[in-house]
Amino acid sequence: MVKRSSPQLAAACSLMVACVVGATVSGSAHAELGGTVASVESDAAHLKGVVRLAPAQAYTLHEIEAATGHIVREYAADDGKIFGVGWEGPTVPDLRQLLGEQYFTKFQQAVAKRQSHRRGPVVIETSDFVFEQTGRLRDFRGRAYLPRAVPSGVGIGMIR
């Protein structure tokens, strides 16, 4: 007996495929989680997007908007270190680029431990790294942050 795929299963499979595809594309030097803002412009060039700065108390938001519909937000503490990234768009962005090698490896290891048939959002929580992603076809969003690096007085809810 052959079972037909449900729309939810198809969406979950698409999410996992998009994670793997987005995660396997390698990038050159970019601003990354735990890195510095020195190369935010290279992220914008990679996405063919425009950077908009929004200074806030204790951090600066670097928002990159691309014509493809992707929006990537990089949150930098006053010392210039990236403590959080957020994204939304029709596909999953290059996670290796956004997370950097150290946290991309943690992401890969955690995803490998997940059950392949599990549906729903991807959530990874450790004491030093949090990754959350949800989505369906043409509508993906997520965020990753370093809990210990979030500036004092800044709520994690603003990382989106």
pLDDT for position 31: 67
pLDDT digits (tens, 9 = 90+) for 63-83: 999 999 999 999 999 999 999
Stretch 13-19: mean pLDDT, rounded?
Answer: 38
Rg of the chain (C-alpha set): 16
Domain boundaries, the chain: 7-158
What residue type is assigned to position 118 of the chain? R
CB atoms within 10 A of CB 40: 22
| Separation between Cα atoms, residue 123 and residue 135, nearest integer Å | 12
pLDDT digits (tens, 9 = 90+) for 80-117: 999 999 999 999 999 998 999 999 999 999 888 876 65
pLDDT for position 117: 56
| pTM: predicted TM-score of the whole model, two decimal places | 0.78
94, 107 in Cβ contact below 8 A?
no
Q: What angle do CA 58, 61, 66 make, to 5 degrees?
A: 175
pLDDT for position 150: 97
| Separation between Cα atoms, residue 43 and residue 79, nearest integer Å | 19
Look at residues 150, 145, 76 and name the one whose alpha carbon lies nearest to residue 107: 145
pLDDT for position 116: 61
